[in-house]
Structure 1
Amino acid sequence: MPTVFKPNIETGRVSAVSVAILDAAIREAIWNKFEVTGATSAMLLRVIVSPQEIRRVTLQDVPPSVDELCTVLRNTLGLRGNFLLQFEDPDFGNELCNLTDMKDLPTERATLKVLFTFPDPLSDSTLDTASPSSQSTTSRRLSSSSTTSPSPPSSGDLTEWPDPFVIPDFSHDVEFQLRVANDAYANDGTVMVVSKSVKSEILDRLADCITKITPYPTKNNVESVAKALVVKHPCLREPGSGQGWYCWKFSLVFKMGNYRQRMMAAGCPEVLVNKRKGGKEKSKPVKKSKKGEIHYLPQPPEGQTAVKSEKDRETMLLEVQKRDPDLQVLDELMTATFSQRRREIIGDEPLISAVMDRWPALFCERQLITEFRRIVAKDLLESFLGGLDEFVPSLLQLYKAAAASGRRLALSSILNCLQKDDTNQNQRTAALLGLPHYLSDDSSNIIRMCDAHGETLDVIMAGMEIGLLIGHEGPLQDAFPLDVFNVAVVAEEKIILHDIRDVPTAFAMLLGAIYGLNLEYPRNMRYTFEFLQKVIMSIKPDQCSARVHGLRNKLLRYRL
């Protein structure tokens, strides 16, 4: 039953509460009319992405749900990561309220605020829990300088390139010219003669949208933008090229180079790290995301200065030296100093020993898992072990077929171990240790067995740049030890992580160390690590080498 509004008889006026209720009722009636009749109307939005970025967005068709509105804003503004929307509610003096229903929005124009959300790195059950003694001290917290929350994501935060790429709106005059030219193209196929100012406007706007995803787009990324441009505006097609977008592709490539120069001048860390100094470094390699990193070189959190980061790092050094360090405090310190740590590791490329001296808290399972999540936005152990379990049966079948043909003698020895003890853990180990042999990689300098009473560690680790040391008791009778008592991660002939409980977990920690320390995959096992990343972990799975792609196809056929 609709609400009945009665004026105050004594004053002859409607109360303020009744006016507010009446306004809400009218707004709901308007939305109900849209839902029943299917009518739509344009809406003007003022979107606050950050204090420095406030955008104006016009919606020709109002989305029916909040989720669809988020999708529209994500594509239009190039937003990355998870976020929720807040709106200025006129019923409460334009105070911000969470938007849960489109009916709550004013009908013609509204102000929205984008509030980025981040997963809690401590909420995962795979992380180690604090000891009782450390839990008792969790009431200790950092000062405001060390508990600053992360800022909105910077460039490169999108987990994958949008498909299809959404072409943004250009300035009003350019949009008008394009609309007229598109009509002419539809009538008689006449293409637009693009002036220098219009082309500059188009390329600048596209480069801005691309950079919000990544400042270093691939060839396929640029092609997808050029294709999407001529699909949305066919008047921009080039009559001299087969597909009609080749020149736009080359123009975008050059524009991105110029745009990166502007970003470098503005101080963007992800581009500034590649700056060459006075021609002294003529062949300096470009330091950019190569293994699917989402937060490769992030901006520091808002309010987190270099001085604060250094103080947080010194506090971390003191905390990690305690007998029972507060794991919650360490998590907060490592999160606050994430940007500084990545700048040092990527920009300066220090030795592993120097990183261990400055960031000792990083070299434990808990922090490697959390650091991997900061960089890739995935749970390390869950993604690795879950993806591995999907392919273990198929991998073992492939190993049997290869061993039966006599092409892989090492695989026969690995499979013979499973006949003695075929537990789930040993099947995982066999699948991982057999992978280099199947892919024709050389694992001799990356994976080594170590007898607890045999040679000294210095002799065993000689020549190991990065890899695993699998410890066992007594002489090794099989291809791999069935009873592993300790596994260690080695980098630059130095143990950086030890006391890992099993080989599959150690492989996951090795991947975590490679990402956390920005290391290259060992060349002798590059196909194995590529398979672990792109097939097992499903990180950039669409960009595989021919060898890894062939193995994945075989595994998928075995699973059918």
Structure 2
Amino acid sequence: MALLLRVIISSTEARRVQLSEVPKSVDSLISILQEKLQLQGQFFLQFEDPDFGNALCNLSEISELPSERAVLHIQWSRSSLHETNSLSSISSLDTASLDNSEASSHSPTVSGQRYLRTASEWPLPFPIPTLSFDVELKLRRGNETWEKTKIGIDVTRDLKIEVLDKIVQAVFDIKAYPDNQEIESIASALISKYPCLKEPGKGKGYEGWLISIKNKLNNYRAKLRVAGCNEVSVNRKRKDDGNVFTLKKAKHGEVNHVPEHPCNHTDTSLEEQRLLLVEETKKARRNIAAISEKMELTFSLRRKEVVQEQPMIVEVQERWPALFYQEQICEEFFRITNKDLLGVFMTAIDMYTLKLLKLYRARKGAFGQDMDALLDRLDERTTDIVNHRRTAALEGLPVFLRENPTELFKKCKETEDGTKGVSVGILYVLEDNTQTTSPMI
């Protein structure tokens, strides 16, 4: 009995194989494929199982294959991943036997993602994908010229876009967030395959490509977000067979990170805790410890709402009033970024305070009495010098920038709300019965 196979070799290569009879074993089938397709390296086979919506299953028995025709996926071992790169250079004449109707109904990129996204190791060298025919032809001629003259080709805008577009798609087949070393391996593999793209001058010859790849990856992720694919937990479905792959979740510390719910909690149970939290904020004597505990418990629900639903500020204020308490602002910032908000701010101020004060003194004559009075008050201080220097550096900014300082700085008593009507500013809280101030951003 004859058997027609469509063999997915890599994310960019598929072949049609006609067998006069069904092989007796899986090992025999692998040997036949190695011979007919001239495959090198170790691999195993998976097939699309029609009983499970064409989901991939490992082929362990030849009897598991659908009768008459089947779609096979070659899954390369780690040691053989680099060989898929050479497969991508097969000429258009070699691939002319592809069944066009079948190829259009099955996305090789998605099939590649189904395998490569499960890989625990970054492939070295990185397999640079096949480019369009005209670009490949131009680069092939450029490589021939490079061998003779060591002069690269003129990289046009269209050529660079083609190269970067294919690379970022291949990268996302493997990993959504490659690190710096992995991105460098891409640039290195690019000029190794196409030395005519090597940049003239000193260095490794791919520094410019390295920056372009990083920027292209950032832009690609941004396009996915605009298209509705949040990098939190987004599924993109294939329209042809319904199979799904998931973009990598944002890591802890990233803006779009959404943590898992605490153990034994669901959206419903956390919503109940949120309602209790709102009731606690309405009490005349608030239990700060209880509020902090429930804010910590409901963090995952809150992040899910903010990231996925992107509500208006008034909606957040209504549902999470405790989030706008000073201490909870700092706590939430730490939960999201693992950084101390006030600590980071004060560190940044300390880094620039002395430089700003030096600049103020050097040019104080150009800013009139306001700057003179500010620096004179600072010189009169004899205690808590560090805090007074910070205050002078901040108060001097609007004067130096020739802005109205009353729009940036506000003062109020501890028992007053001085934030009304202020979108961004520095609030100085005066302790009752004293003139001591402490800034609160």
TM bucket normalised to smaller? 0.3 to 0.5
Structure whose CA Rg is larger? 2
Q: TM-score, normalised by structure 2?
A: 0.47
Identify which of structures 1 and 2 has the higher relative contact order when contacts are C-alpha pairs closer than 8 Å and 6+ apart. Answer: 1
